[in-house]
């Protein structure tokens, strides 16, 4: 969890907080929103729900949240607050305007649920005097300050099950399959699925050296030994899976197909792990805001 302290904090308890979800949606974001709202309301805070991430903050797309407004969402994928990518925040005036809008609306502290980009945005807003607590919510497991990010476990299990299905049909047809999972800049989903699905090759952006010939050679070698099924897990940041499939088929004579799992990995009901982590992080995020703002200094 990231705690970004604003420059100035009143010595009084915070009365109003804002909560938003930002960047790619992740299963468990709703559970985190629910925990933030209920913990804050219980502590006597007013909670402003900010729709569509930083875009909604800059456009003042707000809704007051109560314990009732977060009922029946702990099990739901996506985010009831919607999410967005906001180009304006990347410009120097974006975070300054965000802080101004917070002050104008009486929002004394923000809880931001999102990935590494959202963390950067949170940090930039804090430089303009607003306290921000960031909760890691992304399927990518790539927030440097956190061992876990909400949504990773659900995405992983969804991808793993999808790969099992592709494996069944690949085995029946004696094919080579390249299965592309999400992770443009982080190969955690590919790595975990690669191990869990017993893949022959795992291509991750952190390590892949683009030695495609070496992969082809290994497939040809295994084929000679009588192996009929070859599974390659490819993180989306590594090359073009369809092109790679064509080249492997041409070089080895083995029928090769590419399957891109895509957004299926981002949706769906969060696993138990994601619900519990999201609930714990959501509750914990509110604590430093309302118990003692001085701690954030």
CB closer to ligand ATP out of 4 and 54 = 54
Of 23 and 288, the one with the shorter C-beta distance to ligand ATP is: 23
Contact status: 187 vs ligand ATP (CB under 6 A):
no
Between the alpha carbon of residue 78 and those of residues 113, 132, 160, 194, 196, the distances in Å are: 12, 22, 19, 25, 25
* Piece of 64-72, 117-125, 154-162, 222-230 that binds ligand ATP (CB under 6 A): 117-125
Query: Which residue out of 116, 140, 142, 274 is catalytically annotated?
Result: 140
By CB under 6 A, tell whether 265 contacts ligand ATP. no
Only one of the segments 27-35, 118-126, 191-199, 277-285 lies at the binding site for ligand ATP (rule: CB under 6 A); that segment is: 118-126
| 271 binding ligand ATP? (CB under 6 A) | no
Count residues binding ligand ATP (CB under 6 A): 19
Q: Name the segment binding ligand ATP (CB under 6 A); options: 115-123, 164-172, 205-213, 269-277.
A: 115-123
Q: To 10 degrees, the CA torsion angle through 175, 196, 212, 263?
A: 80
Q: How far is the CB of 30 from ligand ATP (least distance, A)?
A: 15
237 lies in the site for ligand ATP, by CB under 6 A:
no
For the CB of residue 34, give the shortest distance to ligand ATP in the complex, in Å: 20
Among 30, 126, 138, 154, binds ligand ATP (CB under 6 A): 138
Active site residue 164: no
Nearer to ligand ATP, 48 or 86 (CB): 86
Q: Which of 115, 114, 110 is nearest to 95 (CA)?
A: 110
**Residue 249: alpha-carbon gap to chain centroid:** 34
Candidates 18, 49, 77, 121; binder of ligand ATP (CB under 6 A) is: 121
Asked if 146 touches ligand ATP (CB under 6 A), the answer is no
**Interaction of residue 23 with ligand ATP, rule CB under 6 A:** yes
Decide: is 73 part of the binding site for ligand ATP (CB under 6 A). Answer: no
Among 86, 199, 245, 261, binds ligand ATP (CB under 6 A): 86
List of long-range contacts for 164-171, beta carbons under 8 Å, 24+ apart: 164/197, 166/231, 166/259, 167/197, 167/229, 167/231, 170/229, 170/231, 170/257, 171/228, 171/229
9 or 138: CB nearest ligand ATP: 138
Kindly state the smallest distance separating residue 26's Cβ from ligand ATP, in Å: 6
- 27: contact with ligand ATP by CB under 6 A: no
Strand 176-181 relative to strand 62-65, pairing:
unpaired
Least distance in angstroms from the C-beta of 131 to ligand ATP: 17
**Which positions lie near ligand ATP, rule CB under 6 A?**
22-24, 54, 85-86, 89-90, 95, 114-118, 120-121, 124, 138, 140
Active-site annotation, residues: 140
């Amino acid at each position: 969890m990231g705690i970004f302290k604003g420059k100035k904090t009143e010595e009084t308890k915070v009365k109003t907080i804002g909560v938003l979800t930002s960047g790619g949606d992740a299963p468990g974001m709703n559970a985190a929103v629910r925990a933030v709202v209920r913990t804050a309301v219980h502590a006597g805070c007013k909670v402003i729900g900010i729709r569509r991430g930083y875009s909604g903050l800059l456009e003042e797309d707000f809704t007051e949240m109560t314990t009732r407004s977060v009922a029946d969402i702990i099990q739901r994928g996506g985010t009831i607050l919607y999410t967005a990518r906001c180009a304006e925040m990347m410009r120097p005036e974006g975070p300054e305007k965000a802080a101004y809008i917070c002050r104008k609306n009486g929002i004394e502290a923000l809880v931001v649920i999102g990935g590494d980009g959202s963390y950067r945005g949170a940090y930039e807003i804090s430089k303009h005097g607003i306290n921000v607590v960031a909760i890691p919510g992304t399927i990518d497991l790539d927030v440097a300050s956190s061992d876990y990010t909400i949504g990773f476990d659900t995405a992983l299990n969804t991808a793993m099950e999808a790969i099992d299905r592709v494996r069944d049909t690949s085995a029946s047809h004696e094919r080579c399959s390249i299965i592309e999972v999400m992770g443009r800049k982080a190969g955690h989903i590919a790595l975990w699925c690669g191990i869990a699905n017993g893949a022959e090759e795992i291509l991750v952006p952190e390590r892949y050296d683009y030695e495609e010939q070496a992969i082809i050679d290994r497939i040809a070698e295994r084929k000679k030994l009588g192996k009929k099924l070859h599974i390659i897990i490819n993180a989306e940041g590594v090359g073009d899976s369809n092109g790679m499939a064509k080249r492997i088929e041409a070089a080895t004579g083995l029928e090769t197909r590419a399957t891109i799992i895509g957004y299926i990995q981002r949706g769906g009901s969060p696993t138990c792990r994601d619900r519990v982590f999201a609930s714990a992080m959501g509750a914990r995020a509110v604590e430093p805001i309302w118990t003692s703002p001085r701690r954030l200094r």
